[in-house]
């Protein structure tokens, strides 16, 4: 069993840290707001009042925070991970950030005697709660082998996809596919409703064929019901689509459908829906079609 510092106890991080506690690890949590730390303590974990305190005795440090600057802050500042963790510790960043930043962190960690692994996740809040996340890992093989048993407490699909930075590249591709899937499901729902079709029955039969997807399985019913409580916010998917577009441009890859979907997400955010789940793309299609907006 390892001593694990867990930094970032939000929608995803809190249940993930809980799984590690139940697996028997010593988990020391830190979060900018204190409430989630207290909940972790109630479930058998421990709390810290700073990043430096959380990582001091840790064998493994897990971070899952919103964006690249947040990871850089907790990793690189004087009160952060690399200045305070013990030599040989492994930093597993499970945030969704820019691939080039992950590479930079790996280089900075190496200089500080810290091994760095990028391990972003897919599966949303439900996957986090059920410990069924898909985890795409960029790491050296030896580091991957060492942390894999820990990752298995939080996910059901754990794959090494290449050296540091590779996990974030695969996550960017994941977010591209997920965004497009949500948009097309949203368009299909509005289309079906316009023709008076039984949409619940329609989604059921669509999910059983080639059009089936995890989006239909997990979010079809809530989209029909106009329920958009955030499992993954539009604001965060907007950030991720920026990563996708920048990374594609850097390699001169053309992603026309991805670019359009990114604009639709940006528009939804500009209309005040940034705090809703990304399945709220349905609301954008409804607005464009001049229809009543779900959830209002």
Count of H-run helices and E-run strands, the chain = 14, 9
Supply the DSSP symbol for 277. B
Catalytic residue flag (residue 86): no
CA distances in angstroms from 219 to 66, 72, 84, 163, 277, listed in the order given: 22, 33, 42, 33, 10
Q: In 3D, which of 85, 87, 95, 25 has the Cα closest to residue 50? A: 85
Q: In 3D, which of 141, 138, 146 has the Cα closest to residue 173? A: 138
Three-state DSSP class for 26? strand
Strands (E) across 22-110 are located at 26-30, 46-47, 60-63, 90-93
What gap in Å lies between CA 268 and CA 283, rounded to an integer? 8
Q: Sign of the C-alpha dihedral, residues 98, 244, 33, 131?
A: negative
Among the listed residues 39, 111, 171, 204, the single catalytic one is 171
Contacts of 187 (CB under 8 A, 6+ apart): 285
What gap in Å lies between CA 276 and CA 230, rounded to an integer? 5
- DSSP letters for 204-242: HHHHTSTT--HHHHHHHHHHHTT----SSBHHHHHHHHH
What gap in Å lies between CA 235 and CA 268, rounded to an integer? 9
Catalytic residues: 171
């Amino acid at each position: 069993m390892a001593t694990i510092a867990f930094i970032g106890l939000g929608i995803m991080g809190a249940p993930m840290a809980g799984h590690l506690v139940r697996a028997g690890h010593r988990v020391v949590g830190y979060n900018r707001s204190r409430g989630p730390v207290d909940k972790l303590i109630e479930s058998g974990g421990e709390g810290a009042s700073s990043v430096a305190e959380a990582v001091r005795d840790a064998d493994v440090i897990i971070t899952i925070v919103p964006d690249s600057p947040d990871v850089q802050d907790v990793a690189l500042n004087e009160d952060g991970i690399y200045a305070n963790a013990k030599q040989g510790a492994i930093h597993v960043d499970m945030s969704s950030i820019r691939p080039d930043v992950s590479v930079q962190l790996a280089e900075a960690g190496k200089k500080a005697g810290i091994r760095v692994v990028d391990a972003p996740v897919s599966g949303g809040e439900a996957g986090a709660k059920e410990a069924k996340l898909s985890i795409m890992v960029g790491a050296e093989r030896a580091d991957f082998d060492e942390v894999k048993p820990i990752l298995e407490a939080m996910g059901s699909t754990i794959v090494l996809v290449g050296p540091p930075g590779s996990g974030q590249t695969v996550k960017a591709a994941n977010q591209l596919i997920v965004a497009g899937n949500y948009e097309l499901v949203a368009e299909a729902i509005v289309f079906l409703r316009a023709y008076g079709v039984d949409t619940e029955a329609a989604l059921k039969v669509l999910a059983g064929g080639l059009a089936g997807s995890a989006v239909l399985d997990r979010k079809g019913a809530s989209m029909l019901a106009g329920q958009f409580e955030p499992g993954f916010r539009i604001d965060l998917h907007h950030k991720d689509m920026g990563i996708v577009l920048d990374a594609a441009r850097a390699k001169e890859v053309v992603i026309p459908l991805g670019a359009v979907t990114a604009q639709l997400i940006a528009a939804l955010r500009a209309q005040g829906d940034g705090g809703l789940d990304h399945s709220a793309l349905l609301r954008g299609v409804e607005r464009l079609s001049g229809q009543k907006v779900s959830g209002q």
